[in-house]
Amino acid sequence: MITVLRLTRRYILEYVRRPVNIVLLIFVPLIFVILSAGAIIDFAKAVGFVGAAGKLSAPTAGWAASFLAGIAGFYQILNSRDADKRLALSGMGVHRIVISRIFSGLLLSLLAALASISALAIKSEIVDPLRIITGTLLSVIIYLGIGVAVGSVAKREINGSLIVIFIWMFDVFLGPAMAGGKIWITRLFPSHFVTLLMLNRGSGHKDFIGNFGWSMVWAVGALLLAVVIFSANNASKKNQNLVKREWAVWHRLCSGFKYGLRDYRRNVILWVLLLLLPIAFITLSFYVTPAKPVPVELLENGITKMKIITLDKIHGAIMVPITLAFLAGLSGLFIVQGSMEADARLVLAGFRPFEILFSRIGTIVMAALLTTVVSIGITAINFTPENWGWFIGGNLLVAFTYGMIGVLIGVIFGRIGGLYMMFLLPFIDVGIAQNIMFSISPPKWGSVLPSRGGVRILVDAAFTKEFDYPGSLILALVWLVCLIVVTSIIFRQIAKPKNA
C-alpha cells in the first residue's frame, strides 16, 4: 500500500510539473458549466422538458468533469507507457502500477468534478445535491476508464485524443439532454443513463435495474476494461529517421508540405477517424433529433424575419461547423506540437521559418478541406441548404480559423492544456454562442468570438437564398487574417534553432 501511495504521489507531481494543467483543470469546468447551463435550460424547455432550472442544467457538471477525466486518464497512460513497463520489469509489479495510475487519475478527476459542481451551484440552484454529486462522480469514473483504455492502445496522441473527444461529443451532443430524442441507439452512449439519472427521468426500459443500476454497470465496466487493457498492453514504439536535404525556396516549400502530408498519410487510423467520425456524428444528429418545429430569427433581403424550421434540420446543419471546429483545431494543435523539434532541425538544414510555416499551414488546410468535404457530403444526404456556395464558404471559414487557433493554443498551453482549451473553445463558441438550436437568435456575448462570422454566413445560407451578411464575412476574414499573422510571428520563434 505504501508503494502504491508513493507511486500515486509521483504521478500527481509528474502531472503538475506544468502548473497551467491544474489551473485549466479548475478553470475549464467553471467556464463550461456557467456558459452552457443557461443554453441547455433554454433548449430543454424548447423541446418540451419540464422541471426546475437546476435539474435541467445538472448534466453540464458531469459533462465538463468527464471530459477532463478522460483526457487526464489518457495522457497519464500514453506519456508513461515505457516508464511503467520498466517499473514493472524492475519488480514493482503491474498491479501496483495499475492501481496507482487509476488512483492518481481519480484524484485529478475529483478536482475537476469539484470545480464543475461549484460552477453549477453558482449558475443555478442545485435541486437535488446527492443526485448531482452521484451523477458527476459516475461520469468521471466512466470517462477515466475510457481515457485509460484508449491511452493503453493508442499509438499516437492525436489518434487517441480524437477517439476520447468524439466519444464525449457523441455522448453529449446526441444524448438525451442535448438532442432531446428518444432513439434507442443513444442508450449505447457511456453517460446516457447517468444523464437521465441527473435529470431524474425514466430510462424507458422495462427492467428492474433503473438509471442508477445501468450507470453503475457502465462505471464498473469502464474501470475493469481499463485495468484489463492497461495490464495486458505490450505496445512498442517505432523510431523513424528524418532525412534532411537542402532545396531551393520553392522546392523546400513543396518538400515540407509533401513530407508533412506523408507523415499524416502514414497514420492510417487518423484518416479513418477524420473520415468516419464526421460521417457518424452528423448522420446520428439527424437521426436522434426530433422533427419538432421551432422559431428561428433570420435575415432575408435585409429584413429580419421569424421562420419555423424543424429541430432536426437545425441540429444537422449546426453539427457541421461544430465538427469542423473540433477537428481543425486538433489538427493545428498536433501538427505543430508534434513537429517543434523537427522544425528547429530543418532550420539548421537550410529551411527558412516561413517555408516551414507554410508547409505546416498547408497540411492543416488539407486536413480541414478533407473533413469539410466529408462533413458537407454527408449533410447533403439528409439536408439541402438554400445556398450551397455560401454554406460551404462559411464552413471553410470556421475550419481554417480553428486550424490557426489550434496552432496558437498548442504553443501557449502545450499538449494537455491545449486539449483542455480546444475542448472548451469550440464548444462554447460554436456549440453554444452561435447555436440557433438553443435560442431564437445567438447571445450577444458571442458576437465577437472567432466563429461568429462563419456560422452566421452558413446558417443564413442554410435557410435563405440570398446572402445577407457582408459584415459577418468581413468579421470572419479579419479573424482569419489576424490569426495567420500572429501565428506567423510566433512560428518564427518556434522554428529558430535552439542553443546547445
Residue 169 confidence (pLDDT) above 90: no
Q: Give the CB-side neighbour count of residue 401, counting CA atoms within 13 A.
A: 28
pLDDT-based confidence at residue 450 (cuts at 50, 70, 90): very high
pLDDT in tens, 68-78: 888 888 887 87
Residue position matching grid coordinates 439532454: 177
Percentage of the chain surpassing pLDDT 90? Answer: 12
pLDDT in tens, 282-334: 888 777 777 788 888 888 877 888 888 888 888 878 888 998 998 888 888 88
pLDDT in tens, 233-288: 643 344 333 333 333 444 554 555 455 555 555 566 666 666 777 888 888 877 77
Please state, in angstroms and rounded to a whole number, the distance separating the CA atoms of residues 488 and 170: 34
| Residue type for position 93 | G
Return the pLDDT at 395: 94
pLDDT in tens, 454-466: 999 999 999 988 8
- Model's pTM, two decimal places? 0.72
Q: By the 8 A CB rule, do 80 and 14 touch?
A: yes
The stretch 171-179 carries a mean pLDDT of 76
Contacting residues for 239 by C-beta, under 8 A, at least 6 apart: none
Domain extents in the chain: 1-237, 240-500
